[in-house]
Amino acid sequence: RKEVEQDPGPFNVPEGATVAFNCTYSNSASQSFFWYRQDCRKEPKLLMSVYSSGNEDGRFTAQLNRASQYISLLIRDSKLSDSATYLCVVISSGAGSYQLTFGKGTKLSVIP
Amino acid sequence: DTEVTQTPKHLVMGMTNKKSLKCEQHMGHRAMYWYKQKAKKPPELMFVYSYEKLSINESVPSRFSPECPNSSLLNLHLHALQPEDSALYLCASSPFGSGANVLTFGAGSRLTVL
């Protein structure tokens, strides 16, 4: 089983739709979780951290489910500008060091 | 504007050339990273410098040579590269050396090896 898995998509949704992505992780000792957004031919940029209690930033909601070992990202009222690849990042610790693992990314296309 | 600055933005080099990629941050971050990203793939970690010391080398070929002259600068020296090394090279930094914290990426240097 891969350490961090994401559905690669693409997810093609109309403007105004609600879309959700999941990201599963295999290491139950994983500690920190993030969603990054990467536009075509640009660098990844932090979208939001994911907290145990869940967190919301405008149209974006991130959730963590430790029991089932996945994080999710919900985007409401999709905009054309939301089109991008969404990368989940999981940080795990072990043997005195931290390991940061990227998922392969989920591509979202918001269509007019 | 990104707070991690990478130069050059684009680089084309032959297999016998020697070139360098440069990265600079002035956020006081104590960890700096080099990642390689191929099209439609996630970034792959190459090197980590923590408190100006090389802490992680992910079995990168010796034709890639990192250097951290000070806490704000990170270089990647390139020599005798192969066409398959063509990729986007991303520099990143994080506040602490432990790695358990948020990465800020530079805009990347797009490398083409002929």
Average pLDDT on A39-58 reads 93
**DSSP state string for chain B:** --SEEEE-SEEEE-TT-EEEEEEEE-S--SEEEEEEE-TTS--EEEEEEETTEEEEE-S--TTEEEEEEETTEEEEEEES--GGG-EEEEEEEESSTTS-S--EE---EEEEE-
A32: chain B residues, CB-CB within 8 Å: 100-101
pLDDT at A29 over 90: no
Average pLDDT on A98-112 reads 93
Grade residue A98 by pLDDT with cuts at 50, 70 and 90: confident
Report the mean per-residue pLDDT for chain B: 92
What pairs with residue A75 in β-bridges? Answer: A19, A60
**Quick one: which of A82, A102, A36 has its CA closest to B104?**
A36
Grade residue B97 by pLDDT with cuts at 50, 70 and 90: low
Q: Across the interface, do B105 and A104 touch by the CB < 8 Å criterion?
A: no
Average pLDDT on A27-50 reads 94
Per-residue pLDDT tens for B58-80?
A: 899 999 999 999 999 999 999 99
Decide: A34 and A92 in contact? Cβ < 8 Å. no
The pLDDT of residue B80 is 94
Q: Across the interface, do A87 and B42 touch by the CB < 8 Å criterion?
A: yes
Grade residue A15 by pLDDT with cuts at 50, 70 and 90: very high
A25: chain B residues, CB-CB within 8 Å: none
The pLDDT of residue A31 is 87
Residues from B contacting A (CB-CB < 8 Å) are 2, 41-43, 45, 56, 88, 90, 98-108, 110
